[in-house]
Amino acid sequence: MAPLHQYLLLSALLFGIGLAGVLTRRNGLITLMGIELMLNAANLNFIAFWRHSPNPEAIEGVLLTMFAIGVAAAEVAVGLALVIAIYRRYRSVNLDEVDQLKG
């Protein structure tokens, strides 16, 4: 079994890639993908900490991750629906053009 810090580094890398995607890309779909990456980085952390915890027989770690994946799926459904709605209205998925909520 690989040591914990390798998992954490991978997870941090995944998170960083996701965050970079979210912050730099203008396309709504790619932003959603970045968010998925960040979520999965968090899931990886959960699993890694569960495996290296004092009692790995317990089910909580997997359960929490399963929840996060379920929530992420719902979130993606909502997010994609939003993107489609935005696309219908603006004929674009470029999020910088969607600024009607500005103060």
Partner 1 sequence: MIEKLASLLVLVPVLPLLAAAAIAVTKRPHRQRASTLAIGAMGLSCLIAVSAFLAIAGAPEERLVRNFDWLHIGNTTIQLGWMLDPLSAAMAAMVSFVGLLIFIFSKGYMAHDENYTRFFGFLALFGAAMLGLVIANSLLLLFICWELVGLASYLLIGFWFHKPEAAAAAKKAFITTRVGDMGLLLGMVWLHAATGTLTFYTEGGEGCLQAGALDSLGAAGLTARLIAPATLIALLLFCGAAGKSGQVPLHVWLPDAMEGPTPVSALIHAATMVAAGVFLMARVFPLLEVGAAMHGESHSVVTPALTVITWVGAFTALFAAFIAVAQNDIKRILAYSTVSQLGYMFLGLGAGGVAVGMFHLLTHAFFKALLFLGAGSVIHGCHEEQDIRYMGGVRRWMPVTFATYAVGMMALSGVPLFFSGFWSKDEILHAAHGWPVSHIPFLMGSLGAVLTAFYMTRQVCYVFFGPQRSREGADHGKAAHPHESPRVMTMPLVILATFAVGLGIFGTPAWPWAQSFLEGEHAHLAFGHLFSGEVLAVMGTSLVCVAFGIGAGWWFYGRQPISSAARPDALEERFTPVFVALKNRLYVDELYEATVIRFNALAARFFDVVDRWILGGAVAVIGYLVVGFAWIGRFLEDHGVNAGFDLGCRGIRRGAGAGAALQDGRVHNYLRALGIGFATLLLLMTWGCH
> Interface with partner 1 by CB under 8 A: which residues?
19, 22-23, 26, 31, 95-96, 98-103
Spatial distance between the Cα atoms of 77 and 66, rounded to a whole number of angstroms: 17
27-to-13, 24, 86, 92, 97 alpha-carbon distances in Å: 22, 9, 12, 9, 10
Residue 57 or 91: the one with the smaller Cβ distance to partner 1 is 91
**Min CB(12)–partner 1 separation in Å:** 11
103: its two tokens? 């103060």
CB-nearer residue toward partner 1: 54 or 103: 103
Q: Would you say 55 or 102 has its CB closer to partner 1? A: 102
